[in-house]
């Protein structure tokens, strides 16, 4: 893969992360409670971290990448989508976060499959694993704080 193609792929991934940052940032102005704003800000910061990683790789390249095992509780598979609104509950925010992280993971796994045997495959699998880790965090919160109460 030449440098231009590599940069195009990295730019595409950065644009997807920027969309996620914008989504979580804008959602902060819609929710009513400070705890919700803080959680959404945390999500925004996580997505900004991905942008930083991708920009650093674009500028400096990358060294050997280790891909952690992806754990999935599959909670989001059995939950109906929630539309963002000003009346969202903590549960709604967790559902939105789980669903978005799942979609991001799928995107990066799809990108990885397009570059078999290359460094880009490894990079995208690593990012997919990070997205899976974020999803797991929200699934655990959902399991501990929402399902436990029901």
pTM of the model: 0.82
State pLDDT tens for residues 15-48. 999 999 999 999 888 887 888 889 889 889 988 9
Token output for 67: 């891909």
Q: Which residue has the higher pLDDT, 5 or 128?
A: 128
The CATH number for 3-147, chosen from 3.30.565.10, 3.10.310.40, 3.50.50.60, 1.20.1260.10, is 1.20.1260.10
Find the distance separating the first CA and the last CA of the chain, reported in whole Å: 51
Domain extent listing, the chain? 3-147
Q: Which of 142, 136, 133, 17 is CA-nearest to residue 82?
A: 142
State pLDDT tens for residues 53-84. 888 888 877 666 778 788 888 888 888 899 88
Residue 96 has pLDDT above 80, yes or no: yes
Q: How far is Cα 26 from Cα 74, in angstroms, rounded to an integer?
A: 27
């Amino acid at each position: 893969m030449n440098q231009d193609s590599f940069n195009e792929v990295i730019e595409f991934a950065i644009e997807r992360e920027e969309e996620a940052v914008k989504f979580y940032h804008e959602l902060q102005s819609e929710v009513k409670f400070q705890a919700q704003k803080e959680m959404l800000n945390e999500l925004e910061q996580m997505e900004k971290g991905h942008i930083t990683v991708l920009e650093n790789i674009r500028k400096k390249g990358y060294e050997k990448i280790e891909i952690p095992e992806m754990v999935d509780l599959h909670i989001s598979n059995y939950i109906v989508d929630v539309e963002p609104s000003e009346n969202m509950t903590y549960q709604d925010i967790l559902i939105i976060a789980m669903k978005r992280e799942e979609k991001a993971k799928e995107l990066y796994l799809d990108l990885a499959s397009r570059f078999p045997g290359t460094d880009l495959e490894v990079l995208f699998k690593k990012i997919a694993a990070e997205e899976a880790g974020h999803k797991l965090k929200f699934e655990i919160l959902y399991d501990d704080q929402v399902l436990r109460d029901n």
